[in-house]
A and B are shown apart, each in its own frame.
Chain A
């Protein structure tokens, strides 16, 4: 099939269906409602179910139940709606169940605005839900990648039995780019002997619970999960290294701002400034080893984000304070231009001399 011109939101929905996701539970919110719209149209034609729940809380708990039964399932929302889902997400982690969650971020806090933001970085990578837990967090930066990372998310969720959050933003959700769906690669669904889908009296019951009243039981449950996180850290870090290896200034940026930053890097290079872009594709696990490696050769780092400075602290931890780490961002739904980022690069490069 030829490429199709499609919105980021629609690309996620199509890729999810092609990944074998047959259950979508959601509640409308700008700027991601196209997903529910697409699912409502397409799911019935492939024998799947798209259900508009009465609230985000209901939707995530439907995901919880469906995941426990062993099917590929997803939900999507935007920032305020994701906050509502956080309790359910914590329960899903507590039961070690796989699912895919998409956050098409908008400005916050509160109802905030509806324009693009990356202000849920902390929430996504540190604590989308209470308890000693992480999610796996992917950050696409093109519409093709919205589709591919959705396909990957189902595979990762099944492999590690953990929720995978795709952290996008309003611009990526709303923009159209050509997508080649035939170029996507998919991970086949594994056997799920743990699924609570009816034992027919032939096997032991599968029970999924996050309630462990004895401290030693809960502790060993958490320790088991921590081993899984170690494996994730070891095996799953992904990033794009664009011209970083000889760069004096390394920009660290993800999602839509990584694209703006890439344009700024090209403009800086044209002016003879050695700039590069390290784009995390996984935000959790974070590409700390690669950043530490670059601290050997780069003189300074610049984190470019759509918030007041969140990922910048992970960059500082990653480079172990061996190099200065600056921050530049816009927030509340505003986007910087590549000229704005270039100005920061020039400022830092002037300071280097």
Chain B
């Protein structure tokens, strides 16, 4: 079983962090994983994406031509990567920033107002964590409690408030009923 995931959005939305959590979760489950970022003169507000592959067999190429899962955080990423999703694949998109709806009927589309929800929680920075909960709910890539633990354990115990906020954002994404 191989999962090819592209995460894409603006710099500052926590795209690379989110990808790293997925890759770490896979590694700790003894899967083969690769994490390949776009890199360049990127900065907050610029575009940013990363490719994560999780597989129980060897991963030859870390480069993803056609993702089976796309997580899009802005309209530019949606326009660029949505047409490339493998038939039968899944699209996850932040409906606060993406007002388009795909006319592809060969993929499953899931929308969540992640930016709006993060603002409601009082921390716009948590948009990626809300999305993580939402993606896990609909993909079952990892067990809910396991990946929630990977997320919160990556924060130092001294930052209990941050752990708690991240856990809450994850739960909000996981619990979202569109």
A interface residues with partner B (beta carbon < 8 Å): 2-3, 5, 30-31, 114-115, 170-171, 174-178, 256, 259-260, 262-263, 266, 335, 337-339
Return chain B residues, CB-CB under 8 Å to A176: 20, 23, 34-36
The CA of A167 and the CA of B35, in the complex, are separated in Å by: 21
The residues of B that contact A170 with a CB separation of less than 8 Å are 39
Segment from B59-67, B70-78, B99-107 that makes contact with A:
B59-67
Interface hub of B33, B36, B37, B61 (most chain A Cβ within 10 A): B61
Smallest Cβ-Cβ distance to B16: which chain A residue: A176
Contact, CB under 8 Å: A5 / B36 = no
Q: Is B40 an interface residue (CB 8 A)?
A: yes
List of B residues within 8 angstroms of A177 by Cβ: 33-35, 62
Which residues of B approach A to under 8 Å, CB–CB? 20, 23-24, 27-28, 32-37, 39-41, 60-63, 65
* Chain B residue at smallest Cβ distance from A338: B61
Instruction: State in angstroms the CA–CA spacing of A32 and B99 once bound together.
Output: 38
In Å, the complex CA distance between A3 and B32 comes to: 11
Contact A5 B27 (CB under 8 A): yes
CB atoms of B34 and A263 under 8 A apart? no
Contact B27 A3 (CB under 8 A): yes
> Beyond A176-B23, A178-B27, is A262–B61 a contact (Cβ under 8 Å)?
yes
Taken together as a complex, chains A and B put the C-alpha atoms of A114 and B27 apart, in Å, by 29
A338 to B40, CA, bound (A): 23
CB nearest to A257 among chain B residues: B61
In the complex, A177 Cα to B19 Cα: how many Å? 12
A335 to B33, CA, bound (A): 20
Give A262 to B63 CA distance when docked, in angstroms: 12
Could you say which of B27, B62, B65 contacts A171, with CB atoms under 8 Å apart? Answer: B62
C-alpha gap A178/B23 in the complex (Å): 9
B35 closest partner in A (C-beta): A176
Q: Could you tell me the distance between the alpha carbons of A74 and B65 in the complex, rounded to whole angstroms?
A: 36
Inter-chain contact B65/A259, CB cutoff 8 Å: no
B37–chain A nearest beta-carbon distance, Å: 6
Q: How far is the CA of A31 from the CA of B41 in the complex (A)?
A: 11
Q: Are A5 and B23 touching (Cβ within 8 A)?
A: yes
Contact present for A259 and B60 (CB under 8 Å): yes
Q: Which residues of A contact B63 (CB under 8 A)?
A: 171, 260, 335, 337-338
- Does B40 lie within 8 Å of A5, measured CB to CB? no
Residues of B with C-beta under 8 A to A338: 60-61, 63, 65
Which of A5, A176, A262, A266 counts the most chain B CB atoms within 10 A?
Answer: A176
Q: Which residues of chain A are within 8 angstroms of B39 by Cβ–Cβ distance?
A: 30-31, 114, 170, 174
B28 → chain A closest CB, angstroms: 8
CB contacts (< 8 Å) of A266 on chain B: these are: 60
Contacts of B35 in A (CB 8 A): 5, 175-177
A175–B63 alpha-carbon span in the complex (Å): 10
14 A–B contact pairs at CB < 8 A?
A2-B28, A5-B33, A171-B62, A174-B36, A176-B34, A177-B34, A178-B32, A178-B33, A260-B61, A260-B63, A262-B61, A263-B61, A266-B60, A335-B63
**Alpha-carbon distance between A114 and B38 when the two chains are bound, in angstroms:** 11
Which residues of the other chain, A, contact B32 by a CB distance below 8 angstroms?
178
Given A31-B39, A178-B27, residue A5 in contact with residue B60 (CB < 8 A): no
Known: A175-B35, A259-B61. 15 other contacts (CB 8 A): A5-B20, A30-B40, A114-B39, A170-B39, A171-B62, A175-B36, A175-B62, A260-B60, A263-B60, A337-B61, A337-B65, A338-B60, A338-B61, A338-B65, A339-B65
Residue with the greatest number of chain A CB neighbours at <10 A, chosen from B33, B63, B65: B63
